[in-house]
Amino acid sequence: MSKHVLVIGSGFAGLSAATSLAQRGYRVTILEKNEGPGGRARVFRTQGFTFDMGPSWYWMPDIFEQYFARFGKKVSDYYNLVRLDPSYQVIFKGPEAVDIPAAMSELRQLFERYEPGSAARLDEFLRQAAYKYKVGIGKFVHMPGRSLLEFADPRLLVDAVRLDLLQSMHKHVRKFFKDPRLLELVEFPILFLGATSENTPALYSLMNYADLALGTWYPMGGMHKIVEGMVALAQEQGVTLHYNQEVQQIVVENGRATGVQTASGFHAADVVVAGADYHHAEQHLLAPEWRHYDEAYWDKRTMAPSSLLFYLGVNRRIEKLRHHNLFFDEDFSLHAEEIYENPKWPSRPLFYASAPSLTDPSVAPEGCENLFLLIPVAPDLPDPEATREHYYHLIMDRLERHCGHSIRDAVVYKRSFAHQDFQQDYHSYKGNAYGLANTLRQTAILKPSLKSNKVGNLYFTGQLTVPGPGVPPSLISGQVVAGEVEKENK
Among the candidates 167, 188, 214, a domain finishes at 214
Beta strands in 323-423 (DSSP E): 324-328, 351-354, 369-377, 411-417
N- to C-terminal Cα separation, the chain: 12
Residue 226 sits in the same domain as residue 293: yes
Count of structural domains, the chain? 2
Whether 187 shows a pLDDT value over 80: the answer reads yes
Pair (158, 256) in one structural domain: no
- H-helix or E-strand spanning residue 295: helix 295-299
Q: Are residues 117 and 166 in the same domain?
A: yes
Q: Which of 172, 191, 179 is nearest to 110 (CA)?
A: 179
Q: Say whether both 208 and 231 belong to one domain.
A: no
229 plus 207 within the same structural domain: no
- Residue pair 50/27 in contact by the 8 Å Cβ criterion: no
Q: How far is CA 184 from CA 3, 123, 194, 244, 349, in A?
A: 50, 18, 15, 42, 14
Alpha carbon distance 429, 422 (integer Å): 8
> Residue 149: its pLDDT value, please?
67
CB atoms within 10 A of CB 54: 24
Residues 186 and 258 in one domain: no
Give how far Cα 121 sits from Cα of 114, 135, 302, Å. 13, 21, 32
| Model confidence pLDDT, tens digit, residues 342-374 | 999 999 999 999 999 999 999 999 999 999 999
Residue 489 CA to residue 483 CA, distance in Å, equals 10
Mean pLDDT for the stretch of residues 41-63: 98
Residue 155: is its pLDDT beyond 80? Answer: no
Residue 449 located in a structural domain: yes
Confidence band, pLDDT 50/70/90 cuts, at residue 196? confident
Neighbours of 389 (CB within 10 A): 11
**Coil, helix or strand at residue 301:** coil
State the chain's mean pLDDT as an integer: 95
**390 in any annotated domain:** no
Query: What pLDDT does residue 270 have?
Result: 98
Instruction: Give the pLDDT confidence score for residue 156 in this predicted structure.
Output: 54
Does residue 470 contact residue 8 with C-beta atoms inside 8 Å?
no
Return the closest-CA partner of residue 169 out of 183, 157, 159: 183
Q: Determine the Cα angle at 40 with ends 385 and 452, to 5°.
A: 115
Mark whether 203 and 238 lie in a shared domain. Answer: no
Question: DSSP letters along 399-452, please?
Answer: HHHHHTS--GGGEEEEEEE-HHHHHHHH--GGG-SS-B---GGGSGGGSPPSB-
Q: What is the per-residue pLDDT for 26?
A: 98
For residue 172, being part of any structural domain is answered with yes
Domain boundary among 192, 214, 236: 214
pLDDT attached to residue 161: 65
Domain boundary among 214, 234, 269: 214
User: What's the mean pLDDT in 175-192?
Assistant: 92
d(Cα 106, Cα 90) in Å, to the nearest integer? Answer: 15
Write down the pLDDT at residue 296: 97
Residue 379 in contact with residue 306, Cβ under 8 Å? yes
Q: Region 154-177: what's the mean pLDDT?
A: 81
| Residue 349 counted as domain residue | no
Beta-carbon neighbour count of residue 460 at 10 Å?
27
Domain that holds residue 139: 107-214
Specify whether 65 is located in the same domain as 26: yes
Q: What is the pLDDT of residues 227-265, one digit of tens each?
A: 999 999 999 999 999 999 999 999 999 999 999 999 999
Query: Which CATH number do you get for residue 233?
Result: 3.50.50.60
Whether 375 maps to a domain, the answer reads: no
Asked if 154 and 240 sit in the same domain, the reply is no
Per-residue pLDDT at 1 exceeds 80: no
The yes-or-no verdict on residue 194 having pLDDT over 80 is no
21 domain-assigned: yes
Both 196 and 164 in one domain: the answer is yes
Task: Specify if 263 maps to a domain.
Answer: yes
Q: What is the pLDDT of residues 300-356, one digit of tens each?
A: 999 999 999 999 999 999 999 999 999 999 998 889 899 988 999 999 999 999 999
pLDDT of 151? 66
Q: State yes or no: pLDDT of 195 exceeds 70.
A: yes
Q: Is a pLDDT exceeding 80 seen at residue 84?
A: yes
Are 114 and 166 in a shared domain?
yes
C-alpha–C-alpha distance, residues 64 and 76, integer Å: 11
pLDDT at 466 exceeding the cut of 90? yes
Within a domain: 352: no
- Summarised one tens digit per residue, pLDDT across range 398-428 is 999 999 999 999 999 999 999 999 999 999 9
- Residue 55 sits in the same domain as residue 145: no
pLDDT of residue 444: 85
Question: 268 pLDDT exceeds 70?
Answer: yes
CA angle, corner 111, sides to 398 and 81, nearest 5? 70
Q: CA nearest 281: which of 398, 87, 427? A: 427
